[in-house]
Amino acid sequence: MDAHVYGVGTSHFGRQPGVAGPMLAQQAIIEALGDAEVDSIDAVFAGTVFGAPGTAQRALQTLGITGVPILTFENACATSSTALHEARHAVMSGRYERVLCLGIETMTAHFAGPITPEVTDAEGRAGLALPGVYAMVASRYEHLHGLDRQALAAVAVKNRAHGALNPRAQHGSEVTVEEVLASRMVADPLTLMQCCDISDAATAAVIGVPRGNPRDVRIAASALRSGELWDHRSTQPWGYDLMASVASDAYEEAGIGAQEIDLFEVHDAFTIGEITATEALGLTEPGGGGELVLSGHTTLGGRQPVNPSGGLLSRGHPLGATGLAQIAEGVWQLRGEAGARQVEGARVAAVETMGGGTAGIDGNGCVVVILGG
């Protein structure tokens, strides 16, 4: 049995310290239920990374969603993508007919700047936050392929231009290559405008069995893995092997290849992350990600737009809510409801969410979802 996305919803994305998590969740859930045209669900699969125990239940009870199974997931940045992956399989197995997926995160309640690394890991003891991890990804990439810093900056320029067309995005202004490169250095070679911002937001999607509604979007495939042990056996930058293996699983299930996909939403927490993701997902050969963005291939109007939503670099990164935000963009695009950022003729979308942060493995987890087809 297939599973379909009936409806999606999100709150606004931004630093919203005065808005409690339940209020953000209300915005996303009400929109998703209305979009799905349903008034009841069989279960809730929720995701949060830094939320307190019971975060989902506190949010759901304000809408009268009680008395159903509520499962909470945590898988770093891939948290709500993981919730959707599991909800899909719960529907396909016949366990439930309709599942509400929820992602919720109030980052400003916990952080003023970069996420504090786990002190029990070697990186945490060394004070190596994620900007430093991705800077090392860039360093390794440069060793393997060379690195055009204009291309790194071009990722931020592209995604900020896309984000300027997204009224829900945290950052809605366009920037130039010169402005990106001149912004404050955070972790060489990554400047401030090449790093995503923390954000407060909630996202939601209703997943269900086929019902014959032409607005429903089929989930053609979803794949999830955690990273292998991270040691001398891999020559690739951190995260590359994990993304490539999960993408291969998803493509095989969907019966398609990367070149048959019309648009991608990928995990661009840092500019180098989009470049390695586009290579790992098969849009170009290893080392070709920089030229891919410089050529316009991944820009709106190009052959395969990447992050038409603006990505994390524009939308912001509320960890537990990010995956479903990517899913929402894919659904809007395939329905032709994306407004000024619409990808013309979009029929198939791919979403990739990479979760990192645990020392010793090649990423906490990665989810790739194929929509449509």
Catalytic position from the list 12, 77, 85, 162: 77
Q: Compute the radius of gyration of the chain from its Cα atoms.
A: 19
Q: Which long-range contacts (CB under 8 A, 24 or more apart) does 154-157 make?
A: 154/290, 154/293, 154/294, 155/194, 155/268, 155/271, 155/274, 155/275, 155/293, 155/313, 156/180, 156/193, 156/194, 156/271, 156/313
Rounded to whole angstroms, the Cα distance separating 373 from 133 reads: 36
Dist. CA 321–CA 335, nearest whole Å: 22
Residue 1 CA: distances (Å) to CA of 206, 217, 218, 297? 16, 14, 11, 35
12, 85, 162, 317: the active-site residue: 317
4: annotated active-site residue = no
Q: How many whole angstroms separate alpha carbon 268 and alpha carbon 266? A: 6
Closest CA to 130 of 354, 369, 340, 322: 354
Record the tokens describing residue 26, joined without a space. Answer: 């209300």
Q: Are 31 and 168 in contact (CB under 8 A)?
A: no
Which residue type sits at 332? W
Of the candidates 79, 362, 85, the residue with the CA atom closest to the CA atom of residue 244? 362
Query: Cα(235)–Cα(254) distance, rounded to whole angstroms?
Result: 29
d(CA 265, CA 27): 22
**Nearest-angstrom CA–CA distance, 141 and 144:** 5
Active site residue 317: yes
Among 192, 195, 2, 207, which Cα is nearest to 84's?
207
Report CA-CA distances (Å) from 285 to 79, 207, 367: 28, 34, 21
Active site members: 77, 317
